[in-house]
Amino acid sequence: MSDWVEVDGSYGEGGGQIIRSAVSLAAVTGKPVSIQSIRAKRAKPGLQHQHLAAVHAAGDICGADIQGADLGSVELVFTPTKKVSAGEYRFSISTAGASNLVLQTVLTPLALAGGESRVIVRGGTHNPMAPSAEYLEFVYLPALAQAGLRATMGSSRYGFYPRGGGESEIVFTLRDGFSAIDFTSRGQLVKAAGVVLASNLPDTVLERGERALREFLPAEIPIERRAKPSPGTGAAVFASAEFENGFGGFVSLGERGKPIEKVAAECGSAFEKWMAAEAAVDEHLADQLVLPMALAKGRSRWRTIQVTEHLRSVMWLVGLFVPASMEIEELGDGTGIVVIDGCG
């Protein structure tokens, strides 16, 4: 059947990004997709809890018939049966899996469906190798706002490894589809922020984290302390900057035996490095923009601080679903310019 899209799940970085992006694009386009060799290069191949949560979330919004959605499965068939409808949705991950990746999986299809959507996800709000709740709040959603998305986000509870149990909510709407963006030159700094957050830890942890982060952030940049309920114990430090045409955000997670000062220093150092560079977006936003901008009207461009395997992989995958023209111009300083002619 010509409408079928077949995906090699081991391509490129071969991780969960390929699964999430594939089911998101299937929901948008209505094309059924077959994914083989899922996470074949990883120590634990196959679908894990957070991948399954994203698959089922995408399935819920387009009434998909799903085969192979089992823990450890290396093959998946995802067949949408109806158009995506905006509305209110609730999803849950039984473990500390990254709830924000589930939010990103369904956001683009629901936004393009028209109307207002409200999505609530329970699970891990602060996970290694995943965007934190603050990253979506301060970086991802503001970047998409320049493409026409109107969104608000908040977290009522934090979810740290291994307990999870956090809860985040996004309310959003998009009129007339995504518009093209140009993030090749930063322009002037609009605002910057730092956040030191914790659950079930003494207030002194937040105080120490703020003092440590202040060593990396100029005095005029505010640092907020956030303490929210959680089933477990945890802490994190986040810093971000928004320019007229650029966004960057960095997070470091606490762990047992790791002083909050070290957590803050890791975050602050990454923030300083990006601020001193010429790129307009950080390496994570660079790949997260690909899917919505491939579906936008017109030509989008952005300069990333680093061309990653994640970026190459998602561009390859998007090209299997939609006729968007995509290329990367790699520059001598290690940065790169992504150019995408969206298919509207």
Q: Residues 51, 126, 284, 310: which is the catalytic one?
A: 310
Measured distance CA(314)–CA(19) in Å, rounded: 10
Closest residue by Cα to residue 241 from 304, 184, 190, 187:
190
State how far the alpha carbon of 184 is from the alpha carbons of 245, 282, 301, 304, 335, in Å.
7, 12, 6, 8, 11
How many CA atoms lie within 13 Å of 50's alpha carbon, on the beta-carbon side?
A: 25
Q: What is the token pair recorded at 245?
A: 């045409």
Measured distance CA(46)–CA(57) in Å, rounded: 18
Measured distance CA(19)–CA(51) in Å, rounded: 7
Contact 276, 168 (CB under 8 A): no
Q: What is the DSSP string of 46-114?
A: S--HHHHHHHHHHHHHHT-EEE--STT-S-EEEE--S----SEEEEE-SSS-BHHHHHHHHHHHHHHT-
Closest residue by Cα to residue 155 from 130, 191, 119:
119
How many CA atoms lie within 13 Å of 338's alpha carbon, on the beta-carbon side?
A: 34
Q: What is the DSSP string of 151-193?
A: EEEEEEE--BTTTB-EEEEEEEEESSSPBP-EESS--SEEEEE
Contact 209, 234 (CB under 8 A): no
- 126 among known catalytic residues: no
* Active site residue ranges: 310
